[in-house]
Homo-oligomer: A and B are copies of this chain.
Amino acid sequence: MSIDLSPEEFELLARLAHRYYVDGRTQEEAAREFGLSRPKVQRLLERARWAGVVDIHIAVPPWLHLDLEDEFRERFGLADVIVTPARPDPQSQREEVARGAAHHLERRLRDGDVVAVSHGRDAGEVPRFFRPGRRLACTFVSAMGGSPRVDEPTNPNEICRALAERSGGRAVSLYAPAHVESAEMRDRLLEQEAVAETLRIAAQANVALVGIGGTDDGCTMVRSGCFSPDEVARLRRLGAVGDVLGNYVDALGRPVASPGSARLIGLGMDDLRRIATVVAVVSEPEKPPSILGVLRSGVIDVLILDEGNARTVLDLAVAAGDAEPATRASQRRPAVAVT
């Protein structure tokens, strides 16, 4: 800092910065005092920050990882990222992530918003921590069908109901299974007005709350019976690394279809892309490849994950040689220390 400045310039910058930041003069007053034009003062102050003569230091609580969040935001073009503190056991990890998602929704949701909701254990924990301060006139709608084979709280209908209950909003259920036995059956079901109506509402949502699934044999799609272990194995061989609402993608984020894909009832990738804010909440240590793949697909707008996964995903991205995007911040921003 304050390198390659002549003593005269250093003195000027320091005096100017002191007058502006410490004494609280306006740039115009300072300009008059120093015999400069106001734009010149502005440029000098900018240069002072640039050279480190002015150092803006932000005390960040030790459990936050704003730098990680920034890197995610910039690297993957996300609107927002929340990295939650690391926890020793998987369950409290999940709760931490769910709490982050709940808080994010509390801040994000506005009256009139329509939230499409996926299944999953991570999403399923969100309602427990969801406590908006006021009544929210929002609609929570299932973005995919249900399954009798998993715990109630991880079914979309149930998550919607809980979210609506806690916010005073409305829940719209999808009265259909997440998967059926044939594509034909699916098409028949989609013709049912009760089903079509719900999916129409979901497709027009402006917010989505989704989990990110893996491709191991214990993933939610298998646990819920949507896909058999064999089917997931086939998807793996096709390169799939993870899914959102049963829509699988490979490591580069490209869609991977399997015969089973045609038997799913729920929003597709294109539907998701039309939703303004897709919030993904994810925990579990096997997830990094899934997260990276889904991120690369570009459907996610807001990501909520724990510190460990965040670091691993970034490491994977770096190792894969993802070009670091020209960050707007590094161009526009002077040296700013963050603790």
Contact = CB atoms under 8 A, between A and B. Distances in A.
Interface of A: 1-2, 7, 10-11, 14-15, 17-18, 20-24, 26, 33-35, 46, 48-49, 52-61, 64, 66, 70, 79-80, 106-110, 328-329, 332-334, 336, 338-339
Contacts of A14: 58-61, 64, 66
Can you list the 6 inter-chain pairs with the closest CB atoms, starting with the nearest? A24-B332, A35-B107, A55-B57, A14-B60, A18-B66, A17-B58
Nearest to A66: B18
Given A33-B80, A35-B107, A64-B11, A21 B56 contact: yes
Nearest to A80: B33
B66 A59 contact: no
A54 B58 CA distance: 5
B61 A10 contact: yes
Contacts of A23: 70, 328-329, 333
Contacts of A56: 21-22, 54-57, 336, 338
Given A15-B66, A66-B15, A53 B49 contact: no
Nearest to A332: B24
A70 B24 CA distance: 12
Given A11-B64, A15-B64, A107-B34, A334 B58 contact: no
A334 B59 contact: no
5 contacts: A23-B329, A26-B334, A33-B79, A35-B107, A57-B57
Contacts of A53: 58-59
Given A15-B66, A35-B106, 7 more contacts: A11-B61, A14-B58, A21-B58, A22-B333, A35-B109, A56-B338, A334-B339
A78 B80 CA distance: 49
A279 to B, nearest CB: 13
A56 B57 CA distance: 6
Contacts of A22: 56, 58, 66, 70, 329, 333, 336, 338
Contacts of A339: 46, 332, 334
Nearest to A21: B56
A79 B30 CA distance: 12
Nearest to A61: B10
Contacts of A332: 24, 339
A338 B15 CA distance: 11
A15 B67 CA distance: 11
A18 B328 CA distance: 14
A334 B21 contact: yes
B329 A24 contact: yes
A92 to B, nearest CB: 16
B59 A2 contact: yes
Contacts of A10: 61
Contacts of A54: 56-59
Contacts of A49: 338
